Structure 1
Amino acid sequence: MSGAEVGLRIVHRRYVPYSHAHYAGHLVDGAYSLGLFGDVATEMCIRTDGDEGLFASYSDVQFRAPLRAGDVVEVSAEIVKVGSRSRVLDFAVHVVARGEATEEAPGAARVLDPPLLVTTATGTVVVPG
């Protein structure tokens, strides 16, 4: 029996390591956010259906602001529709803290208030029937 209900939300937090920077300014590619969406979707499927499930598709992906190495991100998935074997999820990545290293303060960082929305998506996962 499924525990999937519209409105159920899962949240992960993660530090974005400098090893993931691919571009000038310590920018991280958009695929990093998609990988995070896969992780939070997997937990959602485990919690609701006792199975890791499979990601079937994205219907929308929006890259809204830069993601940088040194960021602390909050990644969320929320169920917006429940089918017999499918679940439609809304995803978001917010930067909650950002590194601001300088030569004088190489570990400087600050908490962002409000958090910065960097990536959104809608996707569909499927679980065993």
Structure 2
Amino acid sequence: MSGAHVGLTVTHRRYVPHAHAHYGGDLVDGAYVLGLFGDVATEVCIRADGDEGLFAAYADVRFRAPVRAGDVLEATATVTAVGRRSRTLEFTARVVCRAEPDRGASAARVLPEPIVAVTATGTVVVPQPSR
């Protein structure tokens, strides 16, 4: 029997290295955040179903604010619906720390309020439960 339940939430935090900046202003492409969503979805599946599961689809991906090299991102997935083999997840990526190169090469700060950078809805599937 599946352990998945609505409301299960998993959060990861990750520093965005400068090697991932692809655009002017040290901007990082949106695919970087989608990769983080895949990682947090994997942990949701492991915790809920004892299996890494597979990502089936993204829906309603919204890039709301820039992600830059030197940011610390918090990626969260919350289960919002559970089917026989599918789970619908709501994702949010927030910038919780940001580099401040104008103050110095390694200067950074914790943001007083996180910046919501990306939101999405996704569907994962897990194997049929054993009987």
Query: Aligned residues: percent identity?
Result: 66
Structure 2 SS opposite 1:106:
coil
Specify the alignment match of 1:107 in structure 2: 106
Alpha-carbon distance in 2 for matches of 1:20, 1:105 = 20
Alignment of 1:1-129 (within 5 A): 1-102=1-102, 105-129=104-128
Alpha-carbon distance in 1 for matches of 2:69, 2:29 = 10
Residue-by-residue CA offset, 1:13-34 (whole Å, 9 max, x unaligned): 0000000000000000000010
Alpha-carbon distance in 2 for matches of 1:105, 1:56 = 43
Report the Cα offset of residue 106 of structure 1.
Answer: 1.1
Alpha-carbon distance in 2 for matches of 1:58, 1:119 = 12
Alpha-carbon distance in 2 for matches of 1:67, 1:121 = 15
Aligned residues: 128
Runs (5+) with no aligned partner, structure 1: none
In structure 2, give the amino acid aligned to 1:121.
A
Alpha-carbon distance in 2 for matches of 1:125, 1:60 = 15
Alpha-carbon distance in 1 for matches of 2:61, 2:104 = 36
Structure 2 length normalisation: TM-score?
0.96
Structure 2 SS opposite 1:87:
strand
Structure 1 length normalisation: TM-score?
0.97
Q: What is the RMSD computed on CA atoms of the aligned residues?
A: 0.8
